Amino acid sequence: MEYLEIYDSSLRDGGQGEGISFSLNDKLHIVSALDRLGVAYIEAGNPGFHPKDQEFFDRARTLRLQTSRLVAFGSTRRKDASCDADDSIRALLEAGTETVAVFGKCWDLHAERVLGATLSENLAMIADTVRYLTGQGRRVIFDGEHFFDGYKANPRYALECLRAAREAGAVCLCLCDTNGGALPEEIEKAVKASSDMASGAMLSIHCHNDCGLAAANTLAGVRSGAGQVQGTFLGYGERCGNVNLSTVIPLLELRLGIRCLPKGNLALLTRTANEIAQISNLPLQHDMPFVGRSAFAHKAGMHADGVLKTTRSFEHINPELVGNERRFLVSEIAGRKIIAKKVEKIVPGLAADSPELQEIISELKEQERRGYQFEGAEGSFALLVRRVLGKAEPSFQLVSYKILDELPYDNGASATATIKVRVGGRLQVSAAEGEGPVNALDKALRSALEIFYPQLARVQLVDYKVRVMEPKDATAALVRVLITTTDGKTSWTTVGVSNDVIEASWLALVDSIEYKLHVAKELE
């Protein structure tokens, strides 16, 4: 096989995942991202079930897609209705897509106990629907729902369902592991048995991840004859999700040598993953294969040392192939060479055997003993290095701050902060209201400092995380605060640690300002 079709169902199957709710504009933006990546098909919704999906297809008529084709999704006709009287089938046609996907039951248990139909009635529902849509000029993909469970329970009937769809005109037969419970060897056996039934139609594989085997099962399906892979881009979906296309695509291209994206587009994979995660308002898992921030991150000294000598020692591919990057993490268990390499980027020319580097390592270990962690706060690490070397004099001194938090409130601000800072010989006092004490403190600090440092007007906080270090200490526990800040050109993360969450936030805020004034300006 030289080429395989990718069929993305993020906007339909992925939208069924817990915590996901796509707006119309979200769906349009995701379509653009997937089209830029180069997937063959984008299943964009069920217009017969969701009015919002019908609105999407109306808007989608104006899209000028370069590589992808939109697909409307629906079910076979109802048991006691004709196709031309079925509202959901009418909605499929009104969606206006050249290709439609319809699902039908391939498990006798579902046909009889869920639909309340006889086995012959279910076959007629499949055949009638595919034949009707084909007669209306549509290319039909038949999604054999619960195919693998059906094949285990009654292989002859599951294959009869595929035959009914194929003989009625389906151009693609999708074999679905809807419950996500199949094993790779079961996938291989059933796909091979389906090949004869396909009779010229393409076979597709659609796996869910309930046993953590979706990627392995998908590859088993491809090796057994599937020419199309269905999934969702970040594995979003019902229960444990669908197969993650951002994992399967590079496996197909780089491991099996099967092209499934336009030439060169694999390098867009990580960018697309971050874009879709942002649109979905869900963080991209840092340890996600290929596209996660930690996918090519090295922390242990021995691992990092090996990668510095030859990347193949602890990396299965070059991260640039998927648009990701190699990272060396700073921590107390990192080797001297790794810390020296990180320091070299901050202060070029510092020798690896210098006493200054040893002082930096000692300070790093002391800070981590106190609860700090710098592998996710490289902004604070850069400042630590400069402070040890005497290259980061404070840009201001805190004289005092006072925060009032009150309930109830009716002005959109629950807290007020007053701050007094000294810059050089000048004293500056500022106050601000905010949505909570940290927001108010952040605003007051920036207001006070922008008089002296106008460049801070472009700086804004974009992420704020709090981690309780010792839950057993309850409300007196040590907390670690991570703050991510941007100036519109670059972003950086800083850290603060204290038993007082406000103080921890303050320490991270101070580092975020100092980084901009001491480090970011050197990168501009």
pLDDT over threshold 70, residue 294: yes
pLDDT score recorded for residue 335 = 62
> What's the mean pLDDT in 382-405?
92
CA atoms within 13 A on the CB side of 234: 28
Name the most confidently modeled range: 122-136, 296-310, 490-504: 122-136
> What's the mean pLDDT in 178-187?
98
pLDDT in tens, 198-226: 988 999 999 999 999 999 999 999 999 99
Task: Out of 219-223, 347-351, 414-418, 479-483, pick the least confident.
Answer: 347-351
Give the strand pairing for 172-177 and 139-145. Answer: parallel
Q: What three-state secondary structure class fits 10?
A: coil
Assign 490 a pLDDT band (cuts: 50, 70, 90): confident
What residue ranges in 294-355 does DSSP mark as E strands? 297-298, 327-328
Q: What three-state secondary structure class fits 226?
A: coil
pLDDT over threshold 70, residue 321: yes
- Residue 398, burial from CB neighbour count under 10 angstroms (0-12, 13-18, 19+): middle
pLDDT over threshold 90, residue 428: yes
Q: Break the chain into its structural domains and give their ranges.
A: 5-262, 297-388
pLDDT score recorded for residue 303 = 73
How would you classify residue 37: left for phi > 0, otherwise alpha for psi between -120 and 50, otherwise beta? alpha
% pLDDT > 70, the chain: 96
Assign 334 a pLDDT band (cuts: 50, 70, 90): low
Assign 77 a pLDDT band (cuts: 50, 70, 90): very high
What residue ranges in 307-367 does DSSP mark as E strands? 327-328
pLDDT over threshold 60, residue 274: yes
Give the DSSP per-residue string, 404-472. EE-SS--SS--EEEEEEEEETTEEEEEEEEESSHHHHHHHHHHHHHTTT-GGGGG-EEEEEEEEES-GG
- Residue 349, burial from CB neighbour count under 10 angstroms (0-12, 13-18, 19+): exposed
* Nearest-10 crossing angle of helices 184-198, 214-223: 40
pLDDT score recorded for residue 500 = 92
Q: Are 206 and 176 in contact (CB under 8 A)?
A: yes
Assign 522 a pLDDT band (cuts: 50, 70, 90): low
pLDDT over threshold 60, residue 523: no
Assign 301 a pLDDT band (cuts: 50, 70, 90): low
pLDDT score recorded for residue 306 = 81
Q: What is the rounded distance in angstroms from the CA atom of residue 213 to the CA atom of residue 187?
A: 11
CA atoms within 13 A on the CB side of 107: 17
pLDDT over threshold 90, residue 300: no
pLDDT score recorded for residue 412 = 74
CATH code for the structural domain at 5-262 = 3.20.20.70
pLDDT in tens, 16-64: 999 899 999 999 999 999 999 999 999 999 998 888 899 999 999 889 9
pLDDT over threshold 60, residue 524: no
pLDDT score recorded for residue 110 = 96
pLDDT score recorded for residue 468 = 86
pLDDT score recorded for residue 304 = 64
What are the C-alpha distances in Å from 519 to residues 115, 381, 397, 451?
Answer: 65, 11, 18, 20
What are the C-alpha distances in Å from 64 to residues 31, 69, 70, 211?
Answer: 11, 10, 11, 39
pLDDT over threshold 80, residue 2: yes
Average pLDDT, rounded, for the chain: 91
How would you classify residue 19: left for phi > 0, otherwise alpha for psi between -120 and 50, otherwise beta? left
pLDDT over threshold 60, residue 364: yes
pLDDT score recorded for residue 483 = 92
Q: What is the rounded distance in angstroms from the CA atom of residue 118 to the CA atom of residue 122?
A: 6
